[in-house]
Amino acid sequence: MPLCHPDESAALLELKDSFIKQCGFHGPLPSSLSRLSNLQLLELGGNAFSGTVDFNMFLNMKNLYSLGLSANMLSVLIRENSTTISTNASLPKFEILSLGSCNLTTFPGFLRHQYGLTWLDLSNNSMHGKVPKWIWNTSIEILDIHDNFFAGFSIDVLPSMSLRYLDFQKNNFMGALPIPPPSTNYFDGSYNELSGEISPLFFNLSSLQLLALSHNKMSGVLPECLRNTNHNLSSAGVTQMCSFGSQLQVMDLSYNQFHGRLPQSLLSNCLELKVLKLDNNNFRDVFPSWLGNLRELKLLLLRSNHFHGEITSNSTSEDDFPSLQIMDLSHNNFSGVLPSHCFQKWNAMKDFDGRKSSYLSIPINVSTSTTTFQATYQTKAAFQAVCPVTITNKGRDMEYGKILEVFTVIDLSSNRFHGDIPECLGNLRGLQVLNLSNNMLDGSIPSSLSNMTQLESLDLSLNKLSGEIPQQLVQLTFLAFFNVSFNRLRGLIPQGNQFSTFDISSYEGNARLRGLPSFSTPPRASPSASGSDEEDNQDSMSWFKSNWMTILPGFVGGLIFGVAIEHLLAIDERIWFIKFFNIGVVTKTKGRKGRKLRRTT
């Protein structure tokens, strides 16, 4: 519905506060809105207002300290050369100004003299250049400029001692990472072109709750926490312990070029840490079992690095990773047998509570001098921050912008694990995604996996598993994806329930399986597996030769008999051909979702 004109109701002219955020209003803003000269707070964000708005219409509201126009379909026109707006004395004294998604192309110059400004939202616009240096002369506490085209800040060390929240993700920032003041609670510089190392000064941020720097070009090693951080103390031979991490809840350094080992002294102090994303870097280390002491950790992503060795548990703890829900160690160089001792300790994956239907959320509360701001990390609700997580599910890399509170994942694929799949894995009854593909696992598939009644995706492909597929797996009524292709399985494929929905691609590459589904997809090329070797190719070659020799006499003796035998073996011949010539197809889908924010007063 359209917003009524203020001149239609005399009582409106006496209004001091007007808060009509997310109320479904649409159409243009009435020009007579400027008659509300007594307004102190005007919040119109999150509606469907459209058209062009001359910012001068708000200048008659001398008492206006909070103006919100974000998240509409407006184009706000700020005439910097107008006599009215260039005369600083005639402007309202803004404390809160939200101009997100207002089609702005330049940084509003009139803010230069808004010394009382504490909250500024210029997100989702088309502003270029650098953020002006004079913005730090204000009392800025919350600065949101994400989704623009800014190339950087005008200075490397941000001087504002009042800054609490800084979001400049999805811009074109280049060069070194800017250093925020120690007061900062929320720092997000993801999806930029930042490069170089993280300065040791960055790890003096004792108030930091969220650090997100994903999808940049940063490199170097993460420093140890214990170091000389004060030049005066250093000259006196005194070593100072940094207090970084005491309040940290989220650290996301994924998709960069960091290398070296994970500094235990830096991260073991982060006792409030809930999310640690270090995937798609060049870290080279053994499994950081000491992270198991972080009792609040829910999500651990180490995929696509150079971690190696066996996965060990923390011998000093009886319940490693007690809150862990998502563990992704895929695409590394881990070896040895699967860590049954760890599976027995990961208690958060053992239970399923269907009442927890909300989305996994981590509130970052920021109290400023004028309001309480909350950015909720990875949630369902609109106008709240969302962090995507890439997980291999149903055979593809899928990006999850929102994760349910009960979502549980173990991904150990594309490593060098060997030996049996332990029976105790079935104790993780709350697990929903299990990916052990592309390893060197042998032995049989344990029937205990049928205890995972919430399992939706099970990928055991590209291993050396033998024996039969347990008939008990038919009990997994939520199973939507199942893949045991390119193993050494035999016997009858389970029938009924979800197994009636899986096509031949789930089973190809197992010459001795019987009861293949009558419907099928085109033969799938097998990707090169870390567990494949010359013995597999030789076995396939000898099988093909021996079977062809049985077909040949039948073909000579009678064309019909030979064709019938050849038809029965046609599928396995195609599989041999694919594996012998090592044809592979890898499909990935990626996406990303933006972040939004919510403010409560």
Residue type, position 480, single letter: A
- 348 occurs within a structural domain: yes
The conformational region for residue 9 under phi > 0 = left, psi -120 to 50 = alpha, else beta, is: beta
The confidence band for 244, taking pLDDT boundaries of 50, 70 and 90, is confident
Q: 456 and 544 share a domain?
A: no
Q: 502 and 573 share a domain?
A: no
Q: pLDDT of 497-507, one tens digit each?
A: 999 999 999 99
Task: Tally Cβ neighbours within 10 Å of residue 456.
Answer: 19
Asked whether the predicted pLDDT for residue 418 surpasses 90, the reply is: yes
The position carrying tokens 């997580």 is 389
Average pLDDT over residues 125-147: 94
Q: 464 and 554 share a domain?
A: no
| Contact by Cβ (8 Å): 455, 478 | yes
Which of 162, 167, 118, 111 is CA-nearest to residue 134?
A: 111
Helix, strand, coil shares of the chain, percent, nearest 5, are 20, 25, 55
For residue 39 the two structure tokens come to: 């307004």
What are the C-alpha distances in Å from 145 to residues 106, 107, 175, 258, 524?
A: 12, 10, 18, 26, 46
| Contact by Cβ (8 Å): 169, 190 | yes
Q: 541 and 517 share a domain?
A: no
Which of 593, 596, 598 is CA-nearest to residue 191?
A: 593
Predicted pLDDT of residue 545: 39
Asked whether the predicted pLDDT for residue 563 surpasses 90, the reply is: no
Which of 421, 473, 433 is CA-nearest to residue 450?
A: 473
Asked whether the predicted pLDDT for residue 2 surpasses 70, the reply is: no
- 31 occurs within a structural domain: no
Asked whether the predicted pLDDT for residue 197 surpasses 90, the reply is: yes
- 572 occurs within a structural domain: yes
Q: 576 and 595 share a domain?
A: no
The confidence band for 383, taking pLDDT boundaries of 50, 70 and 90, is very low
- 48 occurs within a structural domain: no
Predicted pLDDT of residue 233: 37
Asked whether the predicted pLDDT for residue 381 surpasses 60, the reply is: no
Q: 491 and 575 share a domain?
A: no
Which of 374, 384, 372, 369 is CA-nearest to residue 140?
A: 369
Average pLDDT over residues 281-301: 94
Measured distance CA(213)–CA(220) in Å, rounded: 14
What are the C-alpha distances in Å from 116 to residues 42, 46, 184?
A: 17, 25, 19
Q: pLDDT of 182-193, one tens digit each?
A: 899 999 999 999
Higher pLDDT, 227 or 37: 37
Measured distance CA(329)–CA(327) in Å, rounded: 6
| Contact by Cβ (8 Å): 163, 208 | no
Query: Directed axis angle between helix 559-580 and helix 534-557, to 10°?
Result: 160
Q: What is the maximum span of the chain, computed from C-alpha positions, in angstroms?
A: 105
Asked whether the predicted pLDDT for residue 53 surpasses 70, the reply is: yes
The confidence band for 550, taking pLDDT boundaries of 50, 70 and 90, is very low
The confidence band for 556, taking pLDDT boundaries of 50, 70 and 90, is very low
Task: Tally Cβ neighbours within 10 Å of residue 156.
Answer: 12
Asked whether the predicted pLDDT for residue 297 surpasses 50, the reply is: yes
| Contact by Cβ (8 Å): 336, 305 | no
How many independent structural domains does the chain possess?
A: 2
Q: 499 and 561 share a domain?
A: no
Q: 495 and 559 share a domain?
A: no
Average pLDDT, the chain: 78
For residue 514 the two structure tokens come to: 């019987």
For residue 162 the two structure tokens come to: 């009042």
How many residues would you count in the chain? 601
What are the C-alpha distances in Å from 465 to residues 66, 573, 593?
A: 65, 20, 38
| Contact by Cβ (8 Å): 149, 172 | yes
Q: How remote is the C-alpha of 32 from its chain's centroid?
A: 45
- 238 occurs within a structural domain: no
Measured distance CA(60)–CA(176) in Å, rounded: 42
Q: pLDDT of 67-116, one tens digit each?
A: 999 989 999 999 877 655 655 667 889 999 999 999 999 999 999 989 99
The confidence band for 531, taking pLDDT boundaries of 50, 70 and 90, is very low
For residue 369 the two structure tokens come to: 């001098």
Higher pLDDT, 302 or 565: 302
Task: Give the DSSP letter string of 220-250.
Answer: E-PPPSEE---HHHHHTT--EE--TTSS--E
Measured distance CA(464)–CA(424) in Å, rounded: 20
Provide the domain limits for residue 561: 534-580
| Contact by Cβ (8 Å): 131, 154 | yes
Task: Tally Cβ neighbours within 10 Å of residue 377.
Answer: 24
Measured distance CA(194)–CA(177) in Å, rounded: 6
Q: pLDDT of 12-37, one tens digit each?
A: 555 555 545 556 678 898 887 888 88
CATH of the domain at 372: 3.80.10.10
- 510 occurs within a structural domain: yes
Predicted pLDDT of residue 172: 97
Q: 483 and 508 share a domain?
A: yes
Measured distance CA(58)–CA(12) in Å, rounded: 16
The position carrying tokens 């066996």 is 310
Measured distance CA(511)–CA(243) in Å, rounded: 59
Q: 560 and 431 share a domain?
A: no
- 287 occurs within a structural domain: yes
Asked whether the predicted pLDDT for residue 546 surpasses 50, the reply is: no
- 222 occurs within a structural domain: no
CA triplet 15, 17, 20: central angle to 5 degrees?
A: 110
DSSP symbol at 562: H
| Contact by Cβ (8 Å): 263, 285 | no
How would you class 586 by CB atoms within 10 Å of its CB: exposed for 0-12, middle for 13-18, buried for 19 or more? exposed
Q: 470 and 594 share a domain?
A: yes
Q: 573 and 601 share a domain?
A: no
Predicted pLDDT of residue 521: 55
